Each structure stands twice: as structure tokens, then as C-alpha cells.
Amino acid sequence: MSICVIIEISEIDNWPGGVIYWPAKPRGEHRVSIPPVRRPTVVQPSREVAEAEAKRLAGIHPDKRFAIFECAALAHQTEIPTHTTLGGVVVYSRRMPVIVEVDGREDLVPF
């Protein structure tokens, strides 16, 4: 099971402004910020539920397109030992950001 969100993207080419992040992407491309009225408000508990909901929304709004985004990875911090004794006791450590592939691990996503 993996969590998903649905975003209505029918007019994505007309979304105002967009936000250009540094470093800029090649060929003048930029990332676009999702307008507040298009931001998802519900987290779907699985891909199957998200697909059913996207179909339902498309049935109600035939002129709209709905994209399903599935959680593939998470970024979080983990404790990394930096100094240990000869006996293996951790003396010092630091926190470091890591990427973890979700790949069906329900324990990584708390909802």
C-alpha cells in the first residue's frame, strides 16, 4: 500500500507565475507552484482508492484532467555514529538527511 494525492491539472499550462528554484533547470524550464485552489486536501490511502476517486472526479467533471501522485520515497533525518570506542559504544553522532524508498513499506508512512 502506498499513499497518493490527486491534483486537477487541466489548466497546468496557465497556472500563474510558477516558482523558479535555484539552480535553474536547463533549457529555461522551471518548476511550477501548485495554486492554492488546486492543492490536494485529502491523502488517499492506496493507489486503488486514488484511481477510483480520480475516475469518480472525472465522471463529475468531464472537461477536467486529474493526476494521481504516488509516494515513492521519503526524506528524513537519521542518526549516524561518527565516533565509537573500541568496544563499539557510540560516543558522538550526528543527524544526516537520507532518502528512503517506500516500496510497500507501510511503517514508513504514518497514515
Residues 30, 42 share a domain: yes
* Residues sharing a CB contact under 8 Å with residue 46, sequence separation 6 or more, in sequence order: 1, 2, 3, 4
Residues 79, 45 share a domain: no
88: domain range? 73-108
- Per DSSP, the three-state class of 107 is helix
* CA gap 32, 34 in Å, rounded: 6
Residues 60, 8 share a domain: yes
pLDDT in tens, 95-108: 999 998 887 655 55
Residues 16, 62 share a domain: yes
Residues 58, 35 share a domain: yes
Domain count, the chain: 2
Q: Do residues 65 and 85 touch, judged by C-beta distance below 8 A?
A: no
Q: H-helix or E-strand containing 91? A: strand 90-101
pLDDT in tens, 59-81: 999 999 999 999 888 898 999 99
pTM of this structure: 0.68
* Residues sharing a CB contact under 8 Å with residue 72, sequence separation 6 or more, in sequence order: 2, 101, 102, 103
For residue 16, the tally of other CB atoms under 10 A from its CB is 7
Rounded to the nearest integer, the mean pLDDT of the chain is 81
Residues 94, 78 share a domain: yes
Residues 83, 65 share a domain: no
Confidence at 55, pLDDT banded by 50, 70, 90:
very high
DSSP state of 44: B
Residues 54, 10 share a domain: yes
